[in-house]
Amino acid sequence: MHSFDHATAASRREFIRTLSLGVGASLVGAAALARPAAKPLGVALVGLGKYSTGQLAPALQQTKLCRLAGIVTGTPAKAAQWKQQYNLPDANIYNYQTFDRIADNPAIDIVYVVLPVALHAEYVERAARAGKHVICEKPMATSAEDCRRMIAAMQKAGKKFSIGYRLHFEPHHQEMMRLGQTQSFGPITHLAADNGFRFNNDTPWRVSKQLAGGGPLMDMGIYCVQGVIYTKGQLPVSVTAKFAPKTNPTLFREVEEGMSWQMQFADGAVADCRTSYGENLSSRLRAEAANGWLELEPAFGYGGIAGRTRQGAMSLPNVPQQARQMDDFADCVLTNKPTRVPGEMGLRDVQLLSAIYRAAETGQKVSTKDVVAVLDKMNSR
Instruction: Tell me the catalytic residues.
Output: 138, 223
How far is the C-alpha of 210 from the C-alpha of 219, rounded, in Å?
Answer: 14
Q: Which of 303, 322, 335, 316 is nearest to 35 (CA)?
A: 335
Distances (CA, A) of 227 to 81, 102, 230: 37, 35, 5
Burial of 30 (0-12, 13-18, 19+ CB in 10 A): exposed
How far is the C-alpha of 166 from the C-alpha of 306, rounded, in Å?
Answer: 16
CA-CA-CA-CA torsion sign (361, 367, 372, 378): positive
How far is the C-alpha of 140 from the C-alpha of 119, rounded, in Å?
Answer: 10
Burial of 202 (0-12, 13-18, 19+ CB in 10 A): exposed
Rg (Cα) of the chain, in Å, rounded? 20
Q: Which of 51, 132, 147, 181 is nearest to 342 (CA)?
A: 147
Q: Which of 218, 276, 290 is nearest to 247 (CA)?
A: 276
Residue pair 191/270 in contact by the 8 Å Cβ criterion: yes
Q: How far apart are the first and last CA of the chain?
A: 26
Residue pair 349/140 in contact by the 8 Å Cβ criterion: yes
DSSP string, 303-371: S---EEETTEE-------HHHHHHHHHHHHHHHT---SSBHHHHHHHHHHHHHHHHHHHH-S-EE-TTS
Measured over all CA atoms, what is the biggest interatomic distance in the chain, rounded to whole angstroms? 59
Residue pair 4/70 in contact by the 8 Å Cβ criterion: no
